[in-house]
Amino acid sequence: SLLPGVEQGMPLPDGLAWLARATAEAAADAVHRGAPEPPTVAGEFRGRRFEAHPTRCADGSVVWWLVDHTARYAAEEALVAERERTTFLAEASNVLLSSLNAERCMAATARLASGFLADAAVVVAPAEGRQLPVTRAVRGGEAVQALIAADPSTVPGLAEALKGFPPVPSR
């Protein structure tokens, strides 16, 4: 069944309030002879997305033709996410390939990450002497660079990552 638990002639469950509202509006319009077709409506029911297309009957009542668009909406959302990911990768590639300067690359990485991936980002580079080069950025802001005295072993996995572990497999 397209709408499990819904039978002809019974009241619509709370999850179909969008369809019940459209039906009530169509019934109110039916008192006017020659009322136009009610508009198509859309809504969700039990995790699925539907469009309801109306047809007015001779007696003024409305029959709704339901179309399950769950898969279409999921595909559209996946397409939007993929386009955003592609935009990020293209911009990251352009920005990072434009400079071989480590500080500029760290700033660009922090800005890109805070703009596309998170609200804030911190980039940590291998130690210079006893200090760690750190670049941080918040969404919409400029990157801020600093040298901080910190022990990378206090953050699980950071010391290993800064040493280049796990090693890249040889070919």
pLDDT of 115-164, one tens digit each? Answer: 888 999 999 999 888 899 999 999 999 999 999 999 998 999 998 899 88
Give the closest residue to 82 by CA, choosing from 90, 70, 72, 94: 90
What is the mean pLDDT of the segment spanning 47-54? 92
15 or 121, which is more confident? 121
Q: Which residue has the higher pLDDT, 165 or 118?
A: 118
Whether the predicted model's global pTM rises above the 0.75 cut: no
Percent of the chain at pLDDT exceeding 70: 91
Does 36 sit behind a cis peptide bond, omega within 30 degrees of 0 on the bond before it? no
pLDDT at 168: 66
> Is residue 14 over pLDDT 80?
no
Which two three-digit tokens encode residue 111?
């800005």
